Amino acid sequence: MIKASFAGKYYEKDYVSVMNQINSLYESKLGPGDLATSRKNDNLFGILVPHDKYSLSGACAAWAYKILAESKFPDTFLILVPDQTGTVVNYLTCLEDFETEFGVCRIDKEFAEKLLESGIVSKADAVVEQALEVQLPLLQHACKDRINDIKILPIVVPSANNVEILAKKIVEIKKDLVVIVVSNFTKYGNKFLFTPFKYNVKESLEGLDLGMIRLILNLDSEMFLKNVKRNKIQVSGSFSVALGLNVLKLLGAEEGELLSYYKSSSINKDEENSVSYFSFIF
């Protein structure tokens, strides 16, 4: 069992506090405004959400998790997260279940083992990734009506170029999926060693963000990666986005819908260093 490592740092620590915190994200000014209504049978291929502290990016993520909570419940949630350490060589998953303040998130072991057999994905004893862990309470909250039925398959995505091959293998093994793509976007400022603009910083940053948004809306993973590379944009999960877009297309998604976009500076008022957050559904 993989225990929570980031509770108390990125989100509240005990059951009641986390529940109240997530409820407040939904109801906040930057959130969707209210909690999810009852689950329907509407199809949802996936969502794209950020992974910062709940106090910063949680309201953005709540938009997509609200739609997830109101949509058809899948057999498995495929969670694609960036390698933030820069040390992962191959795609990684694990067979150990995860425990949060809300209970256990079970791994879809059959799915995981088939991916491991393919040789494209490697096995880790444990996946301890902040970008993954912060999604789990949000997912459990959104699926509290089916919390004991949740099965996940997390994949840590390094800077790899064979996203199309892995996407085909994933969909070949399992189609009853909702994909959760995890990434923060433009990280600007001396803190992130990215200060490409001297003038019109706000407008220039929004230009970078809107360029990425257009490509994500069109599920254009190839041009998305080229755009990030060409402009040297600091994106934590560019390859998890590329892999996710490929999986989503194979599942039948034709376009995305942007639900929320804002920067960390909207909350912490730090204009010198900011992170852009997007929330999409597909």
Average the pLDDT over 246-255 and give the result: 98
Q: Tell me what pLDDT residue 166 has.
A: 96
Placement of tokens 């034709």 in the chain:
254
Q: Is the pLDDT of residue 114 over 90?
A: yes
- pLDDT, tens digit (0-9, with 9 covering 90-100), for 177-200: 999 999 999 999 999 999 998 889
Q: Tell me what pLDDT residue 84 has.
A: 85
Whole-structure pTM value = 0.97
Listed ranges 159-173, 189-203, 234-248; the one with the highest mean pLDDT: 234-248
Q: Alpha helix locations (H) across 188-258?
A: 201-217, 221-231, 238-251
- HSE at residue 267, side-chain half, CA atoms within 13 A, is 22
- pLDDT, tens digit (0-9, with 9 covering 90-100), for 213-223: 999 999 999 99
Written as six digits, the tokens of 94 are: 């694990």
- pLDDT tier for residue 123 given thresholds of 50, 70 and 90: very high
Q: Tell me what pLDDT residue 232 has.
A: 95
Instruction: Write down all domains in the chain, each with its CATH number in brackets.
Output: 2-281 (3.40.830.10)
Q: Is the pLDDT of residue 176 over 80?
A: yes
Q: Is the pLDDT of residue 174 over 80?
A: yes
Angle subtended at Cα 260 by Cα 12 and Cα 64, rounded to the nearest 5 degrees: 60
For residues 206 and 270, what is the distance between their CA atoms, to the nearest angstrom? 16
Q: Tell me what pLDDT residue 42 has.
A: 92
Written as six digits, the tokens of 66 are: 């609200």
Q: Tell me what pLDDT residue 88 has.
A: 78
Written as six digits, the tokens of 216 are: 């994500």
For residues 73 and 83, what is the distance between their CA atoms, to the nearest angstrom? 28
Residue 1 Cα to chain centre, angstroms? 22
For residues 20 and 93, what is the distance between their CA atoms, to the nearest angstrom? 31
* Listed residue (106, 135, 152) closest to 22, CA to CA: 135
Q: Is the pLDDT of residue 87 over 80?
A: no
65-79, 84-98, 105-119, range with the lowest pLDDT: 84-98
For residues 180 and 154, what is the distance between their CA atoms, to the nearest angstrom? 9
Q: Tell me what pLDDT residue 172 has.
A: 97
For residues 115 and 72, what is the distance between their CA atoms, to the nearest angstrom? 24
Q: What's 158's DSSP letter?
A: -
Q: Is the pLDDT of residue 160 over 80?
A: no
Q: Tell me what pLDDT residue 199 has.
A: 87
For residues 272 and 184, what is the distance between their CA atoms, to the nearest angstrom? 17
| AA identity, residue 9 | K
Residues 205/186, Cβ–Cβ less than 8 Å? yes
Average pLDDT over the chain, rounded to an integer: 95
Q: Tell me what pLDDT residue 194 has.
A: 93
Per the rule left: phi > 0, alpha: psi between -120 and 50, beta: everything else, 44 is beta
